[in-house]
Structure 1
């Protein structure tokens, strides 16, 4: 908690004064109790501005290496990431994705807010990409609501591939909580997980007003690097709305 307090004292007021982020729907986030905040991901600055608009701590998971690097650099990294509300991935489950689920479930069991980016990586072109089903599995296993979130304008402040961009006022929009308790016990059904994830992504798309591409962001980045067009049609991962 000391690091969280330090962040708000040292960093929060400056970000508020300089960027004056706008927020809507904050009343949809409970003042206590666990919930998953599922957001679009346009910039590395997303995890700074989204929590800044809430009175509660929002925790994300980060690579364990950020917390275990030796020396002064390692200490500075660890201090910064702890202060900005991030915890290391628990790798006891083997893979990074399994470790993220384990870490998230521990946080939610303690009644905290957990932040996640279903796309898995930042959008390279401002579009919204297909969500990975980990968010659905987490919601069912932890038995908590999912609050869709749209962060707009952070890709102007900090564009992909750049440290700084142009000044703008970021906007954070929180949607109404999504309850998936009707699917309890079906966390291993891949069709149910896909349906839940698409419902979450649809709400994020509606809040963010981004163009949706039915393709994973990592694949879209690969195609972009090879100068291929990822928006030719649904068969090639083209533009269409996720199933609501």
Structure 2
């Protein structure tokens, strides 16, 4: 049988078409994808009707509502004071509570907006939460972080929780949060992290910057007793405790936020810190608690990233700080 020449295989590719040189060099491996930053994350979507929202939003809201109602209303006792101070608006409203428990956001949801947000989901507040506490460490293979990554993606995100990286918070992120605040209700913890002692720490300058730039309706809130249910270091909540939520009247900060922004970086930072200090003073005035002098360090520690607008906003330790360090010090971080 005569030999027949077979046609070239369609899978054959000329060497020069491969990634790499034609002399047989191995193709270069693709560059690793850059790590996602908080500023790259899409802001939580705002829904005006659960019928128009995704099924995930309805499921997550139902689970969170049932679980929170069970924990705070049935297994514990909750008292809410000052409901008349809640604004009717669902835009540019900033709640500023003290912070002592990972359950604070859930307690606020129950006390402030249930059952309203079941029928008006635009009232679901945005929570600026530390990525590692609610979304897991993206670089870790530990079981805890794997579980948190799943919960963060399919549960917390549907509850309008926005992940924030504790380290490396920049002013571009603050600008993104300003835009979110202008169109939503946002919860921010001025202390920046959970208190270990029950005392209320000093406010972070980043909170002052957020308020100065967005000009929101600022509502101070005092949470009492959430640390007894699930304090720092606890894994299992306690029952039959009393939780008290005191909602204050909207703060008049016009004396500070109507000032022109100082050109001097140090004076600008001092203005932001003064705004945050006024907010913290209003929180302290709402309930019992030992005041913490503003010129002393906060009783919190930096190993807890769970705060809203964290220690990256701390005042510069000395005048010799570089401009980059001061810029980072003005940036808030959240829980």
Which of the five TM-score ranges fits, normalised by the shorter chain?
0.7 to 0.9
Q: Give the aligned partner of residue 35 of structure 2.
A: none
Q: Give the aligned partner of residue 105 of structure 2.
A: 47
Of 60, 64, 78, the residue aligned with 2:127 is 60
Of 167, 176, 189, the residue aligned with 2:249 is 176
Contact 1:45 1:158 in 2 (8 A): yes
Contact 2:85 2:250 in 1 (8 A): yes
Q: How far does the alpha carbon of each residue in 1:10-43 deviate from its partner, in whole angstroms, 9 at most, with x for none?
A: 2213322442222111221212221111110011
How far is the alpha carbon of 1:172 from its aligned partner? 1.4
Go from structure 1 to structure 2 and tell me whether the alpha carbon gap of 1:212 and 1:100 turns closer, same or farther (over 3 Å shift). Answer: farther
Runs of at least 5 residues in structure 2 that lack an aligned partner in the other structure: 1-46, 48-53, 114-122, 263-267, 303-335
Counterpart-to-counterpart distance in 2, 1:208 and 1:4? 34
Q: Give the aligned partner of residue 31 of structure 2.
A: none
How far is the alpha carbon of 1:96 from its aligned partner? 1.5
Go from structure 1 to structure 2 and tell me whether the alpha carbon gap of 1:88 and 1:14 turns closer, same or farther (over 3 Å shift). Answer: closer
Runs of at least 5 residues in structure 1 that lack an aligned partner in the other structure: 223-244
- Structure ranking higher in helix proportion: 1
Q: Give the aligned partner of residue 62 of structure 2.
A: 9
Contact 1:157 1:165 in 2 (8 A): yes
Go from structure 1 to structure 2 and tell me whether the alpha carbon gap of 1:69 and 1:80 turns closer, same or farther (over 3 Å shift). Answer: farther
TM-score, normalised by the number of residues in structure 2: 0.58
Q: Give the aligned partner of residue 18 of structure 2.
A: none
Q: Give the aligned partner of residue 199 of structure 1.
A: 278
Q: How far does the alpha carbon of each residue in 1:37-56 deviate from its partner, in whole angstroms, 9 at most, with x for none?
A: 11100111111111222222
Of 298, 317, 332, the residue aligned with 1:217 is 298
Go from structure 1 to structure 2 and tell me whether the alpha carbon gap of 1:193 and 1:69 turns closer, same or farther (over 3 Å shift). Answer: closer
Q: Give the aligned partner of residue 229 of structure 1.
A: none
Of 132, 136, 149, the residue aligned with 2:204 is 132
Q: Give the aligned partner of residue 190 of structure 1.
A: 269
Contact 1:7 1:84 in 2 (8 A): yes
Report the number of matched residues.
218
Go from structure 1 to structure 2 and tell me whether the alpha carbon gap of 1:103 and 1:170 turns closer, same or farther (over 3 Å shift). Answer: farther
Q: Give the aligned partner of residue 88 of structure 2.
A: 31
Deviation larger for 16-25 or 1-10 = 1-10
Q: Give the aligned partner of residue 160 of structure 1.
A: 232
